[in-house]
Structure 1
Amino acid sequence: MSQQDRAATQAGTHAAQESVFVYVTYIRTAPQALWTALTSPEFTARYWHGVRAESDWQPGSPWQLRFADGRVADSGEIVESEPPHRLVIRWRNQFRPDLNAEGDSLCTMEIVAQDDVAKLTVTHRMARPGSKFIEAVSGGWPLILSNLKTLLETGEVMMPLLFKPD
């Protein structure tokens, strides 16, 4: 077996041992404005249905998503922070016991300037196959990021309803 074939086999084996969700969108905004939208508690509450992202966004710092009533929805740690291009968060669900039991996931947000738009790629992964958490975020991220895109481009959110946890 060639070195290239071995690498492809190892990559396939690695992929089979994890769950991954990837979402790419293009937003008519500058990378810095998108970074601010992703990291400002006041701004996140507008497109994330009242949920606020809280951190100082420095590597090693704690990170939380808080419901409007103050309860912690998710928590973790900032792994990498390269404003306004890359943010990596160790992420764990706190409000659903079945998702919390799966452990930590890793969420990577990459922002790339392309002409007059910013390309946002969100990759959320968990080191376990068939993750219920990754299944859940695969339904949540498209709604949240569509709201973010609409807010940045029009000044209004697409779906202003507050999130109702189970």
Structure 2
Amino acid sequence: MSAAVAAHEYEVIINAAPEVVWQAITSPDSTQKYYFKTRVESTWEKDSDFRYYNLDGSLSSEGKVIEIEPQSHLKTTFTPTWIPDSQASTVTWDIQPLGTTALVKLTHDSINDTAFAEGQFHAGWIYVLSSLKSLIETGEALPDLF
């Protein structure tokens, strides 16, 4: 019997314009501050690859851009290379203006519940979104979680 596959959704309101949030999601200098010290690299074009690199240069995760609408929508495949034999799943970032703020929704799907739990993704995504919010609103990311 295989584990259930569900969509895991997280939302946060950030006191910034969608363009500021988008820049933080796609900039290596920003991701290194809030995304477990990893630097993202990509051309951010449809069908392009992206990779997150650890400080020592090793690969943390990778994937391919499936859909992209700058400032509002990014859907990618996602393979965490720190988990042996991990399968690709899907991560989607949606950013909507909400007055003078931005509603950020992150959806992680196409992953079975067992792999999601074993990868500690629930706490990981809460940390990433909370640290992103903190960085944008205060200039300081959260302290390291792991």
TM-score when normalising by structure 1: 0.80
CA distance in 2 between partners of 1:75 and 1:89 (Å): 9
Aligned match of 2:52: 65
| CA drift at 1:154 | 0.8
Is 1:29 matched up with 2:9? no
Aligned match of 2:28: 41
Q: Which has the larger share of strand? A: 2
Aligned match of 1:120: 104
SS in 2 for 1:97: coil
| CA drift at 1:158 | 2.2
The runs of at least 4 aligned residues of structure 1 exceeding 3 Å deviation read: none
| CA drift at 1:34 | 0.3
Unaligned runs of 5+ in 2: none
SS in 2 for 1:123: strand
Aligned match of 2:73: 86
Is 1:55 matched up with 2:42? yes
Structure 2 residue aligned with 1:142, among 126, 131, 134?
126
Instruction: Give CA deviations for 1:104-134 in whole Å, capped at 9, x if unaligned.
Output: 1000100000101100000001253x23236
Is 1:133 matched up with 2:116? yes
Aligned match of 1:110: 94
Aligned length: 143
Unaligned runs of 5+ in 1: 1-15
Percentage of identical aligned residues: 31
Change beyond 3 A, Cα 1:143–1:137: same
Instruction: Give CA deviations for 1:32-73 in whole Å, capped at 9, x if unaligned.
Output: 010000000011101113111111111100111111111111
Q: Which has the larger share of helix? A: 1
Confirm or deny: 8 A CA contact 1:108 1:122 kept in the other structure: yes
Letter matched to residue 109 of structure 1: W
